[in-house]
Amino acid sequence: MKKIKSALISVFDKSGLEDIVKELKSQGVVIYSTGGTQSFIEGLGASVVPVEELTSYPSILGGRVKTLHPKVFGGILSRRELAGDVEQLEAYEIPEIDLVIVDLYPFEKTLASGASHSDIIEKIDIGGISLIRAAAKNYKDVVIIPSMNEYATFLDILKEKQGFTTESDRKYFATRAFDVSSHYDSEIYKYFAGADAKIKVSGGKVSELRYGENPHQKGYFYGDLDELFTKHHGKELSYNNLLDVDAAVNLMQEFKDSAPTFAILKHNNACGLATRSTMLEAYRDALAGDPVSAFGGILIANGEIDEETANEINDLFCEVVIANSFSNAAMEVLKSKKNRIILTQKEVTFPVQQIRTALNGYLVQDKDAKTETTNDFTPCTKLEPTDEQIKDLIFANKLVKHTKSNTIVLAKGNQLLASGTGQTSRVDALNQAIHKAKSFGFDLNGAVMASDAFFPFPDCVEIADLAGIKAVVQPGGSIKDQLSIDYCDAHNMAMVLTGTRHFKH
């Protein structure tokens, strides 16, 4: 057990510090500080020894150098059990410092605010990060509180143990300190490196999930969901919910400027999607795409959900409902199911890279940000698609980009009729899609087909033709493209090539 007799406090944000200062004062702890922190503490009626008095140096260079001095760091880093360290402190009149409280300059917030380069540079903390590392290194003797997020935990210990801490307490705070410092440095590195940044996986906020993909697996989410959503109701999002929500949000980004669009997802794939003149019609036609798979799914709209739409959604068991907004009446209807998660999506900038573990390392790639338009369509058959078919081809191609490979998507009239997902062969994916569409009563005559990759043989266009499909979009690039083109020409089918593959694994 170590007794806190002295403390150095240097914080940017003074929020939440008041109760700690009052408790330190009541316990007779000597407090060292400087600048705005010193003024704040003195304003609470506590005595402060200015750091300038300790070091015999003023704050210089516009505040860039305040605590960087041997009389500060010697008091933090001295090993109390080493006679040599103790003798040196006495020789140079350096007081021991038992507690360090720091809140760093807000580099990330300054960067996110769109501030100038010079303002961002000035928010790179030097003294604070050095204090954190020094105190954490010497955790056997010193307590480090590296951010305001630890104030409540520390205050409880301070009161409960009357100023004493155990080595376990100090190691806990040291661990938090290195978490804070490593994340802080990672964000600075990424700013300087820009597009050339090497992978630095460092999530600021960590949420422990109920479990991972299965109940016997632990799961965590690194990130701040409050930046993306306002949560109105329901249980906590699970690991699988988060994967589905990610798929839903990324899919709906393709339709953010479209007429009312509704999607239903299950296991990261859309089982229903439709664009209509009203959100109610869009929901009904999305549900019609696969009412069986919709059970327990993730629902997302690109606009407001009104009361009438909410009433119909309420008849379906679903895990999550996401929209840009909800009418007051719709919100009350949807809240009638206790566990249903209701989220309003905010405007946010998404990461431009994707990261996943592989073997004993990581795979990193640019996000698939390519969305084809009519300008990217190259007709390759004698018969070109009609204007209506082109609209459906664009619709289907947006969807195929967000469906697990191998995949085939069938659509008509801005509605998903069916898709074959995650198949080991493209023929299997097509047969699965045709079977599903017919099982739910869809007429495939006049429908279009989108493929995430090229056709190595003409078998897919032949199967599609026999099912009534008359327009196709695919990347092309096979050495046997001409075989599929020849079949289309011989059977009055239109096909366009995009030149872009959209594998998704």
List active site positions.
137, 267
Q: Got the DSSP string for 209-220?
A: -S-SSSTTS--E
- Residues 324, 304: contact at Cβ < 8 Å? yes
Give the number of C-alpha atoms closer than 13 A to the C-alpha of residue 466, restricted to the C-beta side.
9
**How far is Cα 218 from Cα 351, in angstroms, rounded to an integer?**
25
**How far is Cα 245 from Cα 470, in angstroms, rounded to an integer?**
33
| SS3 readout for 449-498 | EEECCCCCCCHHHHHHHHHCCCEEEECCCCCCHHHHHHHHHHCCCEEEEC
Kindly report each contact of residues 306-315 with a partner whose C-beta sits within 8 Å and lies 24 or more positions away, as own/partner. 306/279, 306/280, 306/330, 307/333, 308/280, 309/279, 309/280, 309/283, 310/334, 312/280, 312/283, 312/284, 313/283
Give the number of C-alpha atoms closer than 13 A to the C-alpha of residue 149, restricted to the C-beta side.
11
- Residues 316, 294: contact at Cβ < 8 Å? yes
Q: Could you tell me which residues come within 8 angstroms of residue 29 by beta carbon, excluding any fewer than 6 positions away? A: 4, 5, 6, 7, 99, 163
